[in-house]
Amino acid sequence: MKKVTVFVATLLAVGSLTLASCSREEKRETADDIQKAQDNVENTADDVASDVKDAANNAATDLKEATAETKEEIEKERRELGASLEKQRVAARNELDRLDNKIKNATADEKAKLRQRRDNIKADVNELESDIKDVQSDVKRDWKQFKRDVNVKIDKVQKDLEN
């Protein structure tokens, strides 16, 4: 804006000097030229302001769209992770039922080993149920870190089930 003001002031000064040494017709033409220059400067300033406003509106819209997309992606990952956790929980529960049936018919040595395995799997089930609750609620932790932690637990449960 400062440049525009200096430009207009310069035009006025040149116009004033020119008017002093010119005929009436030349003075009128010079005054018209100065008015046109002022109008052009005002129009250009208005155009720049409009362009800046449009750019700001576009940036705000882009940010809203990106935020919505990110929210959708996180929600999709939450659903997928919740389904994976539930699948592991069901598998662990089935293994617990199988172990309980085995314990009924096992010898004393086998019972001790089977009970130890059952206790490990019960602990895993409790962790999985806690993680399922976390996934279903609004997780306060960093989502990526939470997801890594849960995947490590899922791997641990799978190893426990395979043993």
Q: Taking a C-beta distance cutoff of 8 angstroms, is the pair 163, 98 a contact?
A: no
Rounded to 10 degrees, the C-alpha dihedral 55/59/65/71 comes to -170
Residue 99: CB atoms within 10 Å: 18
The 10s digit of each residue's pLDDT in 44-85 is 877 877 877 787 777 778 777 877 787 788 778 888 888 888
Contacts of 57 (CB under 8 A, 6+ apart): none
Q: How far apart are CA 124 and CA 126, in angstroms?
A: 5
| pLDDT at residue 75 in the model | 79
| pLDDT at residue 22 in the model | 57
The 10s digit of each residue's pLDDT in 89-120 is 898 889 889 988 988 888 888 888 888 988 98
**What's the DSSP call for residue 1?**
-
Q: How far apart are CA 41 and CA 48, in angstroms?
A: 11
Query: What are the residue boundaries of the structural domains of the chain, listed by start?
Result: 2-162
Alpha-carbon 42 to chain mean position = 40
Residue at 122: amino acid letter? K
Please tell me the pTM assigned to this model. 0.51
The 10s digit of each residue's pLDDT in 111-155 is 888 889 889 889 888 888 888 787 767 555 567 777 788 788 788
Q: How far apart are CA 132 and CA 86, in angstroms?
A: 7
